[in-house]
Amino acid sequence: MVVGDFPIELDTLIIGSGPGGYVAAIRAAQLGQKVAVAEKAEMGGVCLNVGCIPSKALINAGHRVEHAKHSEDMGISVDNVTVDFSKVQEWKGGIVKKLTGGVEGLLKGNKVEIIRGEAYFVNENTVRIMDDKASQTYTFKNCIIATGSRPIEIPGFKWSERILSSTGALALQEVPKKMVVIGGGYIGMELGTAFANFGTEITVLEGGKQILPGFEKQMSQVVSKRLKKKGNVEVFTEALAKGVEETKDGVKVTVEVKGEEKTFEADYLLVTVGRRPNTEELGLEQVGVEMTERGLIKINKKCQTSVNGIYAIGDVVEGPALAHKASYEGKVAAEVISGHAAEIDYMAIPAVVFTDPELATVGYDEKSAKEAGFDVKASKFPFAANGRALSMNETDGFMKLITRKDDGLIIGAQIAGGNASDMIAELGLAIEAGMTAEDIAMTIHAHPTFGEIAMEAAEVAIGLPVHVVK
């Protein structure tokens, strides 16, 4: 790196190397741009390092433990299941290392320059990138902001050795005996369930009337039912955390539950009440980039901000904080910069929670479809009527298709059940391709598979179900 006040010229600069930034960089390079990525921390961002990937690895390991302990009804019993959690963490770390190294290799393979350091806007086409040794000025023709988000730290619950964010929970070197989780959203329920499967006693405190508030009540009830079966998870809704006292080897959490004050003791407190966009320390006010009250960057359908040549994607813009949303927006921004007629369309963006069982949704649910003015039909098919689900002891849950009554067009789908995260892709494609329930029903699905549930739900939608009584 050249050090000094002479600016280095770049065509396209991307700030952040998470699932939005590195994908945008690769696509922009593929389309002929000369690209550089500025990253102040680890390649791959939150998702690969302390988010999606390590959490799913931990969740999968937890499932292995649970299955080993509870397969008696299949005639399989294990007397003593032991967990070496340091080895679990070592295995998880190996996956992260492989993927982050893969990202760096992909960037270099596409001739993307990697600049280490923190970027700060000087003006609308200039940034200064600083590391702990030096700083350098760069000018650019186009810039994509992809700096992601971080966990929200609430007043009175400052991060510490015992008060953890999702990042801290993923780094634990032992399985806690007891853990309190503030926030029953997707992060709290995923990590809470994972540790419950390892044997931790979990207490979930959710401020709303149901856990997983972003999903239909019928879906969250499937998860609640499974949590009760575990026997080591207790959920309190309409619960407001009032304070926490750290002890020598744990925490005491004071909570108001439906007007009654309660105290919970645990080894750790995990706080998962949402995420905050990383936009404060970029110097955006220097260049007049328009922001929302929540600190998000305003963009149009082409991912363009209010400043010409500056784009924004991922967790720093409106919409759900999803890695695949960031990647999608990154491709759109790269294509717009390259002169392509691209724009964002969120109609078929899936959302998945890796709880037990999994939840997935895409397009409209029944309520939002009606609010949007559609006359719809909701058609459900239970996992309990599927042969593959029965053979795998995954009979909890259902698939629901949302179709327009007049023509059977699929405009939404919800799944609560095993393998929901993989199954939702077919329904997203169906919505994107403008398919009807009849199209799905007439598609031959392999037997016995979870995929058949989509065909069966479609047959319910057209009024000709085979494996449930009409």
Beta bridge partners of 47: none
Say if residue 267 carries a ligand binding annotation.
Answer: no
- Cβ 222 vs Cβ 361: under 8 Å: no
In 3D, which of 244, 110, 270 has the Cα closest to residue 179? 270
Beta bridge mates, 36? 13, 113
CA–CA distance, 440 with 436 (Å, rounded to integer): 7
148 is in an annotated binding site: yes
Distance of alpha carbon 417 from alpha carbon 426, whole angstroms: 15
73 is in an annotated binding site: no
Determine whether the annotation assigns residue 187 to a binding site: yes
Q: Extract the tokens encoding 172.
A: 């634990």
Annotated binding residue at 234? no
440 labeled part of a ligand binding site: no
**Residue 243 annotated in ligand binding:** no
**245 CB-side CA count, 13 A:** 7
Q: Confirm whether residue 206 is marked as ligand binding.
A: yes
Amino acid (1-letter code) at residue 227: L
Residue 430: what are its φ and ψ, rounded to 5°?
A: -60, -45
219 belongs to an annotated ligand binding site: no
Reduce the secondary structure of 130-183 to three states and give it as a string.
ECCCCEEEEEEEEEEECCCEEECCCCCCCCCCCEECHHHHHCCCCCCCEEEEEC
User: Is 328 a known ligand-binding residue?
Assistant: no
Q: Is 120 annotated to bind ligand?
A: no
d(CA 222, CA 353): 13
**Of 67, 70, 324, 447, catalytic:** 447
315 is in an annotated binding site: yes
* β 268-271/178-182 pair status: parallel
Is there a catalytic annotation at residue 340? no
Q: Are 369 and 216 in contact (CB under 8 A)?
A: no
Beta bridge partner(s), residue 352: 360
Encoded tokens for 220:
């969250």
User: Which backbone phi and psi does 348 adopt, to 5 degrees?
Assistant: -115, 40
How far, in Å, CA of 446 to CA of 225, rounded? Answer: 30
CA gyration radius for the chain? 24
Q: Percentages helix, strand, coil for the chain, rounded to the nearest 5?
A: 35, 30, 40
Tell me: is residue 183 an annotated ligand-binding position: yes
Which residue ranges are tagged as binding site? 56, 147-149, 183-190, 206, 274, 315
Which residue ranges are tagged as binding site for NAD(+)? 183-190, 206, 274
Residues known to be catalytic: 447
